[in-house]
A and B are shown apart, each in its own frame.
Chain A
Amino acid sequence: MHDMSAPAAHHGAPTSFIRKHVFSLDHKVIGKQYYALALLAALIGMALSWIMRIHLGWGNFAIPGLHLLSSTGAPGNVLTPEYYLQLMTMHGTIMVFFVLTTAPFAAFGNFFLPIQTGAEDMPFPHFNMMSFWVTFVGFWVLIASFFVGDGPTLGGWTQYAPLSAIGSVGGPGQGLGVVLWATSIAIFCIGQLLGSLNFITTTLDMRCKGMSLMRLPLTAWAWFITSVMGLTAFAVLMPACILLILDHVAGTSFFVASNLVINDQVLPHSGGSTLLWQHLFWFFGHPEVYIAIVPGMGIVSHVLITNMRKPMLSHRVLIYSMAALAVLSYMVYGHHMFVSGMNPVSSLAFSFPTLVITIPSTIVVLMWLGSLYGSKLQINSASLFSLGFISMFISGGVSGFFLAQPSIDIMLHATYFVVGHFHLVMGVAAMFGIFAGTYFWFPKMTGRMMSEPLGKAHFWLSFVGAYCIFMPFHYLGIAGNVRRYQAFTDDYLIPLIPVHKFITIAALITGFAQLIFVYNLIYSRFKGPVETDNPWQGTSLEWSTATPPPHNNFGATMPVVYHDPYQYSVEGASSDFVMQTSPEKINNPNEEK
């Protein structure tokens, strides 16, 4: 075996096709591979959401061809209640793990973190390659559950016990489906742990000359902070998944209590604890939501600064706030368990830090708004999606204040209110972060520009569409609409069906708007106008290297950094922006050292 622990990336440029494009050690190729995987996952996840939405709006509507996916799950092309839940679980799992974690963190982080720090590559390229391929395998293990046994698990992306741990008596997919789910996620954890290891060592150890920590762009900081969270969060989810697998295959009973009766059948399990799963899962789960959003915060800041032609009000306050989010994210996880039967004192103990964590979030938002105020922002697809990110993050964050209080959450827990909350603040916001990053960095990743008119159309349809879909969720939740129902037959739910129909229509239109993006992406990749090395006149290191960046990122001369990453509109400077590599002496008292 090749020496995997060999540090520092002095590997030469690869020559064979396999080494170049498949089992590549180059962080840029790996970043693109992650992006492609996330794109595929997002398309599958979106298709699943369409099927669910159609079913929720028009329960008897036959979707042509659906029986091909599962003849038992969709007889006559109409979903069975169980199969609805199975698709829902796959939608959530695919989106949270393989899109929102993979794209902003692993894809963009891999491509740009080493470049922005001025490194030739990550210190452990073999780990990096493994990280992608392990994730890839994890993805197909999950997808495989569509096609074996009685289909994928129906337990939801949170996989609460005891349902997840009792096996086939729990319903279709609760046997093999759960085992595949837990295996997939455990594998995914390994991939992210390897990635985090590389990200942290790259940031701390591989910076080029002159690149002090404070001279790192906000994106690099965001990826660094995210990888620190990833390192401990995934390390807890992995053993949790393994315990869950043991409950299935080894006859243990970690997550099932004694004398549980399901379908008039007393289960043989005894002694375990159902709450234990929730503790282990949310100890991972809450940091995970910040793993999904913090890279987006970095991307949005980076994009806005370039388009405002001025730095944020405070570079450091943004960094410290993101770090505070990371630290606090471990102390709040119990806010998902207010209604779980957990000791009410614990509820209070988790409610307090949950309210505290809104402070750094608010500071980040105020930093953006304060910096935007009075700036001459250039409007393009990337900056529009950044503004959209901020808008979604605020709208979804506000509902967090309500959920954070146990007395209110008792009403709202497990309703569409929560679904609205996290789709806006995490789902859509993080997606917008991915879009902003894509429009912004596409010219560096491919050498070509994406179409601006298509990008703007994509933005407006998505922006308006997302609000049309997810704002009514809050109303539904307050009206008592429980989440994870596949039909609304109770008296108090029937009047809400028109709202669901409206949401479904909005979801289909917004979904098709995403196809504009996919078209734009593929078309521009081959036919887009060829761009220069620095189309946005940016200052950080990715803009001072060639497009596409050479194998070792910088060619014959490694960069030397003289400035902080955001020297725009500096008085007395020779141009409107001073690149990090420019030796020009400028007189800016606010510059980071």
Chain B
Amino acid sequence: MSQADLTLHGHSTAGAMAEPTFSVPAKKMAMWLFIIADTATFAGCLFAYGFIRNASQNWPRPFHSITNVAVMTLILLTSSLTMLVGVKAAQAGDKPKAFRWIMITAVAGVLFAALHLREWMGMIAEGATLFHNPWGTPLFSSLFFSITGLHLLHVTGGVVALIVVGVRYQGGRYKADDIEITGLYWHFVDLVWMFVVPLVYLLNLSH
């Protein structure tokens, strides 16, 4: 950049912040940073899970079928696709379409949460609590409920975010960028699930 060029801009008034030096705007970067931190949180929890699983003698394998978790996974994966369609539509400026697909994504999220809760209820009915279960070491249910609970919390938060951002986008307060940022979060929640399924479910499938 030439000197003259710089001086020219030097006399702009306060508030005329130069274009962000990185092409990533602050909000999106903040979401990426949140994702990095949250990855560390989940990694810490999954490490704890693996560590204790390895150290336990009577680790149970209480899951008999993968049907439920497969359906849940399918729903979550599909919701990532619908989110993608929503983001693309928002970027193309097609508001109604974007709104529709975002709401479909939210519905998928609700469905996922409902199936998850139903599964929880089933396990609780069999006698599982945070500190006890009929199958083996109590740490199994402690870790199972903590980790899936943390994930479920993320899904719930995501559904709320999708609805709020979607409605405000519809109303003109939020822009396509905000949809994209919410999408980042949603894909992340999906990705975490892809680690939870093999580690927490498939490894504990009874033979």
Contact = CB atoms under 8 A, between A and B. Distances in A.
A273 B55 contact: yes
Given A124-B26, A124-B30, A251 B10 contact: no
A7 B27 contact: yes
A283 interface: yes
Nearest to A283: B44
Interface in A63-121: 119-120
B115 interface: no
Given A7-B26, A8-B17, A252-B131, A239 B139 contact: no
A560 B52 contact: no
A270 B56 CA distance: 10
B67 interface: no
A366 B142 CA distance: 50
A261 interface: no
A253 B142 contact: yes
- Is chain A's interface secondary structure helix, strand, loop, or mixed overall? loop
A246 interface: yes
A205 interface: yes
Given A204-B29, A251-B131, A239 B41 contact: yes
B187 to A, nearest CB: 18
Given A8-B17, A243-B146, A556-B13, A210 B30 contact: no
Contacts, number: 158
Interface in A273-321: 273, 275-276, 279-280, 283
B146 A204 contact: no
Contact of B6 (A124, A210, A253, A552): A210
Nearest to A210: B6
B22 A205 contact: yes
Contact of B41 (A8, A204, A235): A235
Given A8-B17, A250-B131, A583-B7, A276 B44 contact: no
Contacts of A235: 37-38, 40-41, 44
Interface in B108-166: 130-131, 137-139, 142-143, 146, 150
Interface in A229-266: 231-236, 238-240, 243, 246, 250-254
B131 A204 contact: no
A201 B41 contact: no
Given A206-B26, A271-B137, A583 B6 contact: yes
Contact of B1 (A124, A210, A236): A210
A123 B110 CA distance: 33
A196 interface: yes
B47 A253 contact: no
Nearest to A227: B33
A197 B33 CA distance: 7
B14 A558 contact: yes
Contact of B21 (A8, A207, A254): A207
Nearest to B137: A271
A330 B34 CA distance: 19
A233 to B, nearest CB: 8
A232 B130 contact: no
A116 to B, nearest CB: 15
B192 interface: no
Nearest to A209: B18
Contacts of A350: none
Contact of B7 (A212, A271, A555, A560): A560
B29 A201 contact: yes
A562 interface: yes
Interface string A555-593: 111111010000000000000000000010100000000
B130 A250 contact: yes
B64 interface: no
B127 to A, nearest CB: 14
A240 B31 CA distance: 23
Contact of B14 (A205, A246, A556, A583): A556
A442 interface: no
Nearest to B181: A5
Contacts of A487: none
Interface string A521-560: 0000000000000000000000000000000101111111
23 contacts: A119-B17, A120-B17, A124-B30, A201-B26, A201-B30, A205-B22, A205-B26, A205-B29, A208-B18, A209-B6, A210-B1, A231-B33, A232-B40, A235-B37, A235-B40, A238-B41, A239-B44, A251-B131, A252-B130, A253-B138, A254-B48, A270-B137, A558-B13
What are the 8 tightest A-B residue pairs by CB atom distance, in nearest-first order?
A251-B131, A123-B26, A235-B40, A271-B139, A560-B10, A235-B37, A271-B137, A236-B44
Given A201-B30, A231-B40, A240-B44, 20 more contacts: A5-B27, A7-B25, A124-B26, A197-B30, A201-B33, A206-B17, A206-B26, A207-B18, A210-B1, A231-B36, A239-B44, A246-B142, A251-B131, A252-B130, A272-B52, A280-B47, A557-B11, A560-B6, A560-B7, A562-B6
Interface of A: 5, 7-8, 10, 119-120, 123-124, 193, 196-197, 200-201, 204-212, 231-236, 238-240, 243, 246, 250-254, 270-273, 275-276, 279-280, 283, 552, 554-560, 562, 583, 585
